Structure 1
Amino acid sequence: MRERTWWKEAVVYQIYPKSFSDSDGDGFGDLPGVIERLDHLERLGVDCVWLNPVYESPQRDNGYDVSDYRAVHPAFGTMDDWDRLLEELHERDIRLVMDMVPNHTSSDHEWFQRSRSEPDGEYGDYYIWREGSTDANGDPVPPNNWESFFGGSAWEYDEEREAWYLHLYDVSQPDLNWRNPAVREAMTDTMNWWLDRGIDGFRLDVVNLLSKAEGLPDGDPSNDWVGSEHFVDGPRIHEYLGEIRENVFAGTDAVAIGEMPNLDLDHARQYTGPDGPLDLVFHFEHVGLDFGERGRWDVGEWDLRDLKQTLHRWQDGLDWNSLFFENHDQPRSVSRFGDDERYRYESATALATILLTLRGTPFVYQGQEIGMTNGTFESLEDVSDVDTVRNVRELIAEGVVRDYESIRHVVDHRTRDNARTPMQWDDTAHAGFTDGEPWIPVNENYPEINVARERERTPSVLSYYESLIDLRDRTEALVYGDYELHRPDDEQLFVYTRTLGDERIVVVINFSERDATADLDVLEPDASLRLGNYDETAADPPATLALRPYETRLYEQSI
């Protein structure tokens, strides 16, 4: 039996506050808006909220460019609003996990402003500065060939300091120098400041990038992210994370969740488990299955066997997983892995079943519980996502693509804006998100796909999520049970079992747009149906199952 903890039993709901609910009509979601919608979360049955950054920020990267870690950005509200949110959540027995950004700050942060103006001062070594060199024309040349995840060089020349600073993300997000003990102390002090206010843990943004290789050598130009072998899982990363564990999380039941780009299974085992510095890690292998020949800025082919193989490898190889299909950086799962038109309900609920019945802690992203879909972006001017804009402009400038129209299908499929369109509450103007003009347009299908409409439908994606979350909450085998995959090479069926003691749950999913039939040796005649996503389903399993498109069934049986 695995050790019991609250975060293993929890279903986490991720809120991107800028797009969740706007209380004052300025078109920008806020904390009072979140508070107004908490009854929705309570009815859904979630146990924990992961709140994306609400810190003071110029919002060039939607809050992941922090200018003050101990202040609330005015557009989100006040610290009093934040205190009230925490109180309201805890009154509903819902925990709160904050999003912490330890790898970089905003270039507007006081630390960076003083670092650039006072190289020999207290903050001079808070960031990664290098002098670089000059070319034949006397122009500055970056210190190495590392690339930003958002495209282009990872270095920016600062005229004031007359030196280059490293930014693995946007130019406005300079990387902190974690080799400096003062930086580590400042960040752990900040995290403890929030824990002392009563939160229940942190999701740590790109936390495996904190350690950079000594000497910052050039990277392999053939890598998708040039230089990543020198800053992903770097030489001192376990030392830094060990300090965070000891100085922040030790002696508490707060959860430590690490987002880790380019994470492989071997490293994940080192980061988590009884001796690891983190409780949970996010990996991204399964959400890279649809990458094409040009990586994430291309769309490739995948099939169910690919998805099963990837999920199975992590289920089998890691004691406890973070389970997700969507977040603020990923497109909508029903558009990506399902059928968002003819079988939107069926495929959205099939994905929900995978999410909530595999072994691990499930993360539901706002709008996923009603089957929100990707949008469409007619021009690059319609895209807000700095990552998409910079990469598309670079692809056009390099001649990789001719113009926006030639890559628009990739943008529609991939851009982070798909996850950031406003939450669709009802069929009134702007989907009930705001009385003003939203900061980003609402998906045009909001009159058909919204919370109010989902409450009226029978069945609905929302009602299925509620039922499934309730079933997980009442069924220990779906939380702590062993996992076993069946029929791994089947092109249509995703079948697995969760077993705890003498209780077994058999999960059967026809993850395709075609009817399927199956004789399942694992399904006993006395198995009883616990949940399905079609109304007309016999309670007892026949000898041969006949499954309709994306049909999902959960059976319980004794062993």
Structure 2
Amino acid sequence: MSPHTDPLLHTPQWWKESTFYQIYPASFRDSNGDGWGDIPGILEKMPYIASLGVDVVWLSPMFDSPQIDMGYDISDYEAVYPPYGTVQDVEKLVGECHRNEMKLILDLVVNHTSDQHKWFQESRSSKENPKRDWYFWRPARYDEQGNRMAPTNYRSYFAGGTWTWDEHTQEYYLHLYDRTQPDLNWESPDCRRAIYDSAMRFWLDKGIDGFRIDTVNKYSKHVDFPEAPVTDPSSFIQPAAQFWCNGPRIHEFIKEMNSDVLSKYSTYDGQAVVTVGELSMTPDPEVVLKYVSAREKELDMVFQFDITHLGQGPPGGNSKYDFTEWKLPEMKRIVRKWQTFIDRTDGWTTVFNENHDNGRSVSRFANDTLEWREKSAKMLGLWLVVQTGTLFLYQGQEIGMINAPKEWSIEEYKDVEAHKYWKEAVRLAEDGVDPTRKERIMHGLQLMARDHARLPFQWNSSANGGFSNGQPWMRMHDLYKEINAEAQEKDADSVLSFYKRILSLRKEHKDVFVYGTFELLDPENISTFVFRKHYQGKTALVTLNFTTAPQTAPPADDMRLLISSCHKISTATLQPYEGRVYIDY
């Protein structure tokens, strides 16, 4: 990796200094009363989005889809799911973002399609079809008794196996996720060219400014499909991510995507388009750097998920929602690892603690009870905003939205993954294989399920939280009257007002907050999280109390207090869930 002359200085780029704001279209704002959020609803709320001080809108999948996996099962890359609107609505959104001096990126979901996509319909029509090799088809195996078996023993990310039998052509097809999401075969040059045209150029030609790239490290499989080692003796299916994550041709494929497509386009103001990849199950910084080194011309940055997986088991295994208690030093080690892995390199990092696939950060990492949730939200916001890298926020984070109440039953959950893990837990408990599994998995879902982030946005205290005049596709949070944007816009001391202040401070001090190097202090302290940021002669000291009790504040010497998440502060004491930043230059 080529070091910079000065290890403290990374090359400035617009996307490094930007704050990205993720919108989940089903749950943002319903403009027509059908219960589904839509693109006209996003357009209606454009003044609110612009008022936050964010620079880029990331729109989660709005493409046409059967919605088995909430739009990550795409049936037509060049069409919009009708309840969300039309292609013309997306074009309007591009224009409105640009008019408000914001950029717009879309999700690029090209590891798999829906089984309703015309490509798969053709592929499964016959073994001789020209698109047969656009997906992975394999013959059955048979045991000693002549029973048909899947080609391998792989476990999918949504529980169950990764192979589904197709009666028509008498072969199995591969799907890492739901059976309705067959995996595309990137080994086929014709398939790749079709992806570039339909999923990428179609939208880049309409003026979007880049992509968040879904499951970016899973395109290259080990196509000999070796059998997975048995790590769960109670099951036929076994975790097997080593056979599809960071595979043998993955860097070749991403380089081609960049050189053949992305490098040919620019943003509305003449900058290079941006890419951020979803890089799961890649804990080794050296492996991550291969994707984000500027010299390699692959991805600008990636999401690495150690922080949002805190307390989870490995994705793709049967223990994902089997929650494990964690302590603050573990979080500190994760933050230090991904804050410092770019030092003396030409790579870049991202900063986030919420997205559409995880529970809310206040409920996960702090305290969502009435007494502490607002203080927790402010402290966590400060913790996030002063970290090095590109900042990503998720809708509702800026008003301190929290997880669904623990009293909600599994019937209130909508996510295909949650229901498959629950169904598996019920079966294993009732069969006596794992008698306590139902209780453990339900506890994990209450904390970490993807549904928590997908609850409709809480705009005001009117019916359905101002999200919709109809029946929302998913139940509103019970506390929408207490936690909503309208009330917080009128309150100078609200979570929303605090987020606006700290996002402004991030821009004002982007040298040390965006580009600064990270130094962790007191790593084994189980109550406070303290670190310094350095940029040339400028230093920031960040002190955070992750508990409900006052804690001793680290000395700030002669540094100037830049901001505290509390009104009344004591030099010697951090208040419960207080965050504080000092600056010296």
Tell me the TM-score normalized by structure 2. Answer: 0.91
Pair 481,378 (structure 1): closer, same or farther in 2 beyond 3 Å:
closer
Aligned 8 A contact 1:12 1:46 in 2:
yes
Residue correspondence of structure 1 range 233-312 to structure 2 within 5 A: 233-251=246-264, 252=266, 253-264=272-283, 265-276=285-296, 277-291=298-312, 295-312=319-336
Asked whether 1:478 is paired with 2:513, we answer: yes
Q: Which of residues 522, 547, 560 is equivalent to 1:528?
A: 560
The AA in structure 1 aligned to 2:203 is W
Q: CA deviation at 1:273?
A: 1.7
Of the structure 1 ranges 313-322 and 257-266, higher mean CA displacement relative to structure 2 is found in 313-322
In the alignment, the residues of structure 1 paired with residue 409 and residue 580 of structure 2 have an alpha-carbon distance, to the nearest angstrom, of: 42
What secondary structure does 2:321 align onto? strand
Within 5 A, what are the aligned runs for 1:385-534? Answer: 385-399=415-429, 400-401=434-435, 404=438, 407-475=441-509, 476-520=511-555, 523-525=556-558, 527-534=559-566
Q: Is the 8 A contact 2:328 2:526 kept in 1?
A: yes
Residue 9 of structure 1, CA deviation = 0.4
Does the 8 Å CA contact 1:331/1:418 hold for their aligned counterparts? yes
Question: Alpha-carbon deviations, 1:174-198, whole Å to 9, x = none?
Answer: 0001110111111122312211211
User: Would the aligned equivalents of 1:510 and 1:547 in 2 still touch at CA under 8 Å?
Assistant: yes
Of 88, 91, 94, which aligns to 2:96?
88
Residue by residue, what CA displacement relative to the aligned partner does 1:407-457 show, whole Å, maximum 9, x if unpaired? 432221121111101000001111100000000000101110010121233
Paired residue for 1:222?
231
Query: Larger RCO: Structure 1 or Structure 2 (Cα < 8 Å, ≥ 6 residues apart)?
Result: 2
Correspondence 1:346 to 2:355: no
1:59-208 aligned at under 5 Å gives the runs 59-135=67-143, 138-190=146-198, 191-208=200-217
Residue 404 of structure 1: CA displacement? 4.9
C-alpha contact (below 8 Å) 1:459/1:535 kept by paired residues: no
Match of 1:369 in 2: 398
TM-score by length of 1: 0.95
RMSD: 1.7
Cα distance per residue 1:339-358 (max 9 Å; x no partner): 00121111111111121111
Match for residue 332 of structure 1 among 337, 347, 360: 360
- Identity of paired residues, percent? 39
Deviation of the 1:133 alpha carbon: 1.9
The 1:180/1:75 distance shift into structure 2, 3 A limit, reads same
In structure 2, what is the Cα distance between the partners aligned to 1:518 and 1:379? 42
**Equivalents in 2 of 1:239, 1:408: separation in Å?**
41
Aligned partners of 1:208 and 1:260 also within 8 Å: yes
Check conservation: 1:379, 1:404, Cα contact below 8 A. Answer: no
Larger CA deviation: 130-139 vs 382-391: 130-139
CA drift at 1:135: 3.9
**Distance change >3 Å, CA 292–CA 256, structure 1 → 2:** closer
CA–CA separation in structure 1 for the residues paired with 2:230 and 2:400? 40
Secondary structure of the residue that 1:299 maps to in structure 2?
A: coil
Structure 1 residue 12 displacement after superposition: 0.4
Cα shift readout 1:197-239 (whole Å, capped 9, x = no counterpart): 1111101101101111131111122289611111111111111
Q: Which runs of 5+ in 1 are unaligned?
A: none
Tell me how far apart the structure 2 counterparts of residues 405 and 281 of structure 1 sit (CA, whole Å): 34
Superposition deviation, residue 63 in structure 1: 0.3
Separation in structure 2 between the aligned mates of residue 431 and residue 136 of structure 1, nearest angstrom:
59
Cα drift, residue 292 of structure 1? 5.8
Query: What is the rounded CA distance, in whole Å, between the counterparts of 1:131 and 1:47 in structure 2?
Result: 49
- Per-residue deviation, 1:395: 2.1
C-alpha distance in 2 between matches for 1:12 and 1:126: 33
Q: Does structure 1 retain, via aligned residues, the 8 Å contact 2:336–2:518?
A: no
Letter in 2 for 1:267: V
Q: Measure the CA separation in 2 of the matches of 1:214 and 1:76.
A: 37
Whether 2:222 is the aligned partner of 1:213: answer yes
In 2: Cα distance, 1:364 partner to 1:29 partner: 19
Match of residue 10, structure 1, among 9, 18, 22 = 18
Structure 2: which amino acid aligns with 1:515? P
Aligned residues: 550
Is the Cα–Cα contact under 8 Å of residues 14 and 364 in structure 1 kept in the other structure? yes
**1:216-274 per-position Cα deviation (integer Å, ceiling 9, x unaligned):** 11112228961111111111111111111111222541111110110122211111122
